[in-house]
Amino acid sequence: MAVASQEVKSAEKEQSSKRTIGMTLLYIALGIVAVFQIYPLIWLLQFSLKTNAEVFGKSPFALPEDPQWMNYVKAWTDGNISTYFFNSVWITVASVALTVLLASLATFAITRMYWRLNKLVLGLFMIGLMVPIHAALIPLFDFFMTLNLIDHPLSLILSYTAFNLPLTIMILYGFYLTLPTEIEEAAVMDGCSIHRIFFQITLPMTTPVMATTVIINMIYNWNEFIFVNTFISSDKYKTLTVGIQNFVGQYLTDWGAIGATLVISIVPILIAFLFLSNRIVEGIAAGSVKG
């Protein structure tokens, strides 16, 4: 018995040591990945504090000798970045809110309301995932030209909403299928209207997956360039992605100000991701369809 117990203890120690080694190697690998993920942000920050001479005169990995914090002031004032930043914020918020609301309404109608063409409508939305943006630019330009929406922020909001609806519906659809229908059926028995069921019962239950769709849509809308560059020409409606071009001249480019503008543009996305990253994982896991 004593020999057997010693063998069991030795086996447990061996398994524990292997587990410790495995976890150590895993953390080392994750640390290396984290360094490769974080270092570009650090490099961009130090790049934004350099002069043109430092950008081209020394190693790109060298620290700035005299940090040029005025690059941020120049970007915010001389480069009109304050206007572009405000435009990016409100256009992104409006587009995300409209996309999530319409996608939630459509998904609720497809999954909870029984009508003849619900599967066909779902298929039409999914076909939208296969439509490339570049193929729709000319038809959209002609369409907005007819409606006098060229050089108008509504053209961006409508375009963002239309192109993000298919993906948003696809994410919401899997989550809606996992929601129990008994609560809604009980509400119907109590005389609750379809609008109250959606806004007061179903919509609050979809908060985890809605956070996922919000962050995905926000990242896309915030970084979008093609639609802004095509539909918007006046500075008062431009967003950050296009406004960076103000620092690019024919004979001289202010690289430090460009770096400062890029830092300003990624800060809101980083903050949103830090606060909503757990929600993203929860929403994707909750929205997966069980077989």
CATH of the domain at 270: 1.10.3720.10
Q: State whether 39 and 112 are in the same domain.
A: no
Q: Interior CA angle at 218 toward 214 and 220, to 5°? A: 125
The answer to whether residues 37 and 83 belong to one domain is: no
Cβ contacts of 92 within 8 Å, gap of 6 or more: 218, 221, 222
Q: Which structural domain range is residue 40 located in?
A: 2-47
**8 & 147 share domain:** no
Q: Cα–Cα distance between 254 and 198 in angstroms, integer?
A: 52
Q: Are residues 85 and 132 in the same domain?
A: yes
> pLDDT tens-digit profile of 109-162?
888 888 788 888 888 888 888 888 888 899 999 999 999 999 999 999 999 999
188 pLDDT tier (thresholds 50, 70, 90): confident
Instruction: Tell me: do 24 and 145 sit in the same domain.
Output: no
Least confident of 163-177, 219-233, 245-259: 245-259
Q: Please give the helix or strand (H or E) that residue 187 lies within, else none.
A: helix 182-189
Shared domain for 169 and 220, answered yes or no, is: yes
The answer to whether residue 63 sits within a structural domain is: no
Contact criterion met (CB below 8 Å) for 283 and 211: yes
Number of structural domains the chain divides into? 2
Residues 139 and 265 in one domain: yes
pTM above 0.85, yes or no: no
Q: From CA 149, how far away is CA 154, in angstroms rounded?
A: 7
CA–CA separation, 3 vs 177, rounded Å? 56
Q: What's residue 290's pLDDT?
A: 45
pLDDT at position 291: 41
